[in-house]
Structure 1
Amino acid sequence: MASDGARKQFWKRSNSKVPGSIQHVYGAQHPPFNPLLHGTLPRPGPRLPASPLKAKRVSTFQEFESSTSDAWDAGEDDDELLAMAAESLNSAVVMETANRVLRNHSQRREQHPLRGAPGPQAEPPSLSSGDLRLVKSISESHTACPADPASETAPLQRSQSLPHSATVALSGASPDQGVLSSAAFSEREASRLDKFRQLLAGPNTDLEELRKLSWSGIPKPVRPMTWKLLSGYLPANVDRRPATLQRKQKEYFAFIEHYYDSRNDEVHQDTYRQIHIDIPRMSPEALVLQPKVTEIFERILFIWAIRHPASGYVQGINDLVTPFFVVFICEYIDDDDDSAVAVSSVPEEALRNVEADTYWCMSKLLDGIQDNYTFAQPGIQMKVKMLEELVSRIDEQVHRHLEQHEVKYLQFAFRWMNNLLMREVPLRCTIRLWDTYQSEPEGFSHFHLYVCAAFLVRWRKEILEERDFQELLLFLQSLPTSHWGDADVSLLLAEAYRLKFAFADAPNHYKK
């Protein structure tokens, strides 16, 4: 445990402008509160025995601010086999199939030692060191807690079988063949792209089939249209889409004409000023520092804030614009680097369409998680508490380690919930995550919790090696994910689905 003197020295350093220091929370507009103390969150049952080293509960905004930091600145055949299992077998057999896929990673790790730090994944189906560490950490966590009801040996008391979408992701993250040739991989991707195009070209797109197909990732050429359909922005009927697009785009620019000049009014000056300050802080810098992009983002965020007075603008919402904007503008730009998109060559009319589409799709997303941004941000408070309870069940050793070093989940997970892990992984990984989030029921509000739990346990080894409060918190706020690619995200999502399968609708799993 950190001594009082050491902690004072650390917080003094964290409030300074030294590069790499921990900074105040960015995004907590309102005083956070404790849902349990205020009676807004039902207790999940008897609490686990509290550690004698556990720090006192944060109950005021001043305590929260003083103890919370921020680093915002800082194969196809396999798919079909698993799909058959999902459709015809019971849940125990399907889960064993999924777990066997994950265990194959661990076995390959013993056969093929790592060869240093990995670079960008040229062939996502090949096994990365990130994948191996996640599988190893999950395996170790269940071995360390044999009584854990989420362990592989514990029977699952759910009748729901694994959906085809999840089995595709599992097989894609861990194919039977260790490394696919680029030709075979291209053929597989071409086959998936053809399936998407056939589905989208029909007179009425089957949205349920589209979700299943999208769970394991959406090919870039069809991602813009698929996102618009999955978000509920466009109708399934192909004949109605052009009229809907025209109407919604016209409606958005009517909002601009009616409301945007009011940004200079005294009542809205604080909101607009905060938006103007936050946009240059966004990532990637190569995108948001372009003048045209800055203007577009300012308009989108200001109009959204004016039309949603229950929350208004809260720091963190600004990041949620970027993935939609990048995906939609790539319809007009042939550039594989999503973080370096140049908009100067895009026609003005196309930019207007991208802006309107981005606004409406972002609004659809925020409709499902708006309680994250209303007064006191109760949605985030609740999700952080649920994350703490979940991690205490799936990996008690990691949970106890954080407790013993007085690291509170609010200190690192607030940002994970506030901006949906966007600051923790590269933009390309965020876009891949959102493919699945839009395919999952309540993906942004519910499934995200299990992704965060899998993400935390992914760093189990590194977390347990840290024995200092300061270093532990700095690590959690600056995780080494810059090299991550589709393979890392696919395995993360597969483990998150496994956790969801074990814990969702099973409250007894939270009890001893």
Structure 2
Amino acid sequence: MFHSPQMVKKRVPEWLNSSLWSSTPSPSLDDDRVQPYTSKPTATTTITSSSSTSDYEPPSMVDPPIPVPPPKPTREDKPPPQPQSTDSLPNHEDKNNTTPSPEDISRQAQLLVELSRKTINLRDLRRIASQGIPDGAGIRSTVWKLLLGYLPPDRGLWSSELAKKRSQYKHFKDELLMNPSEITRKMDNCTNCDTDESKGQSKGLLSRSEITHGEHPLSLGQSSVWNQFFQDTEIIEQIDRDVKRTHPDLHFFSGDSSDAKSNQDALKNILIVFAKLNPGIRYVQGMNEILAPLFYVFKTDPNEEDAASAEADTFFCFVELLSGFRDHFCQQLDNSVVGIRSTITKLSQLLKEHDEELWRHLEITTKVNPQFYAFRWITLLLTQEFNFADSLHIWDTLLSDPEGPQETLLRVCCAMLILIRRRLLAGDFTSNLKLLQNYPPTNIRHLLYVANKLRVQSSG
């Protein structure tokens, strides 16, 4: 796996660190935390952005109503600090603005109307959700389940479908998370029952010839559950390490509280079951980062019954989400037309189409290989580039794409490059690599606006 540079400490919104999750203070973000899927060239040190405003100004697009971009910086180590206006900051970072905006209230009302219909119109739901789903009322939880195909459009089928899926997940856990000793005991009990029925005089004692199946702990047989158990141990240990590093800045996932430990156990269960059901992929470092937003959204659903079944719901939605990206996690397909390198090439082509000057400067003049930064952006669905609240907003848009999230993801990645084009054009290999591996704070609404403009231009 790739190793990553040090991670910039990101401030956590107060609403994410509610006392609901823990009474102990949140641990600080560890500077040497391993970040999966990151190539680490020689020049990779942490840089803190001095500006949260964007540099985006291609002449072919209509400028959105945002503050005037800062002047073009010179070729020095870092551009001078720029004043930050309220509009240039992510909405959740404005501590004085706790009241939902009129747009959020209106969108929430529209979503509630759509969710109240007997048959959900997925096209209308996607259109509204793509602009961002307001927090609260459990709306995001239900909408994501619909967007991922976990819930059918017919509301009348929801109850039966949920009951069936949740029962199926319980069966997976019972079968796949069982200790080998329990499996062996279960098989012996069945054998004993058969033996007692046919040979009552044996009194349940197996003769030496009847100890079969290769289920002794020292058995090396491929079919042995013990042999399989020892093979799985390494993967389970990796899952355990990664889960413990998942969002250490959030009480929900980290800390000594019983809730945090329970949430970590749920993540581990999901990843172990997934690995065993998908032997072609198994577990790849970084899957825990994709799993975390889904579980958080479902576990914090105000509906107690749905929150209690968050682990099962998350498992199936995780499978649905990963089905569109599974080839990125298969090393054997890295160089194929469906592998991660092919997807990174598509991002490079997209940038060249919309901003050839920036593309030429990055890939030809300064030799910044897109794999150095885009590998993590794409495989982890931008969960490591933005704080948790902003990641949820971006995912609202990604999951709303009727053709799947990948094309929208590439447009968002391209927009990320265009938004900081001035700094990139003024930079050399080292400064640009630092900037791209530690993406500066930005206005998420503006970022998604630009990404949507790229869609309109491409289709036009």
Aligned to 2:245: 281
Equivalent residue in structure 2 for 1:362, among 315, 318, 321 = 318
Aligned to 1:451: 412
Equivalent residue in structure 1 for 2:36, among 26, 33, 50 = 26
Aligned to 1:397: 357
One-letter identity of the residue aligned with 1:490: R
Residues 376-395 of structure 1, C-alpha deviation per residue, up to 9 Å, x if partnerless? 45332111111112222322
Instruction: Indicate if the aligned counterparts of 2:301 and 2:307 stay in contact, CA closer than 8 A.
Output: no
User: What's the offset of the Cα at 1:435?
Assistant: 0.9
Aligned to 2:457: 502
| Residue 397 of structure 2 corresponds to residue 436 of structure 1 | yes
| Residue 269 of structure 2 corresponds to residue 309 of structure 1 | no
Equivalent residue in structure 1 for 2:157, among 228, 233, 240 = 240
Q: Could you tell me the TM-score, scaled by structure 1's length?
A: 0.61
Paired with 1:185 and 1:216, the residues of 2 have a C-alpha distance of 15
Determine which structure has the larger helix proportion and give its number: 1
| Residue 81 of structure 2 corresponds to residue 117 of structure 1 | no
Identical amino acids, percent of aligned pairs:
26
Equivalent residue in structure 1 for 2:434, among 474, 482, 487 = 474
Q: Which runs of 5+ in 2 are unaligned?
A: 7-28, 47-59, 72-80, 181-225, 255-259
Paired with 2:30 and 2:232, the residues of 1 have a C-alpha distance of 34
Q: Cα distance 1:115–1:271, how it changes in 2: closer, same or farther (>3 A)? A: closer
Instruction: Indicate if the aligned counterparts of 2:70 and 2:82 stay in contact, CA closer than 8 A.
Output: no
Q: Cα distance 1:361–1:68, how it changes in 2: closer, same or farther (>3 A)? A: farther
Paired with 1:70 and 1:254, the residues of 2 have a C-alpha distance of 47
Equivalent residue in structure 2 for 1:195, among 110, 114, 139 = 110
User: What's the offset of the Cα at 1:306?
Assistant: 1.2
| Residue 265 of structure 2 corresponds to residue 295 of structure 1 | yes
User: What's the offset of the Cα at 1:252?
Assistant: 0.7
Q: Could you tell me the TM-score, scaled by structure 2's length?
A: 0.67
The within-5 A match list for 1:92-171 is 99-100=61-62, 102=63, 104-105=65-66, 116-118=83-85, 127-128=87-88
Instruction: Indicate if the aligned counterparts of 2:66 and 2:88 stay in contact, CA closer than 8 A.
Output: no
Paired with 1:431 and 1:377, the residues of 2 have a C-alpha distance of 29
User: What's the offset of the Cα at 1:280?
Assistant: 2.1
Paired with 1:291 and 1:247, the residues of 2 have a C-alpha distance of 27
Instruction: Indicate if the aligned counterparts of 1:25 and 1:69 stay in contact, CA closer than 8 A.
Output: no
SS in 2 for 1:288: coil
Residues 130-160 of structure 1, C-alpha deviation per residue, up to 9 Å, x if partnerless? 89xxxxxxxxxxxxxxxxxxxxxxxxxxxxx
Aligned to 1:78: none
Paired with 2:42 and 2:154, the residues of 1 have a C-alpha distance of 52
SS in 1 for 2:279: coil
Aligned residues: 349
Query: Pairwise CA RMSD of aligned residues?
Result: 3.6
Equivalent residue in structure 2 for 1:490, among 441, 445, 453 = 445
User: What's the offset of the Cα at 1:445?
Assistant: 1.7
SS in 2 for 1:240: helix
Instruction: Indicate if the aligned counterparts of 2:295 and 2:310 stay in contact, CA closer than 8 A.
Output: yes
Larger radius of gyration: 2
Aligned to 2:380: 419
Paired with 1:195 and 1:477, the residues of 2 have a C-alpha distance of 38
Instruction: Indicate if the aligned counterparts of 2:150 and 2:316 stay in contact, CA closer than 8 A.
Output: yes
| Residue 142 of structure 2 corresponds to residue 225 of structure 1 | yes
Instruction: Indicate if the aligned counterparts of 2:361 and 2:425 stay in contact, CA closer than 8 A.
Output: yes
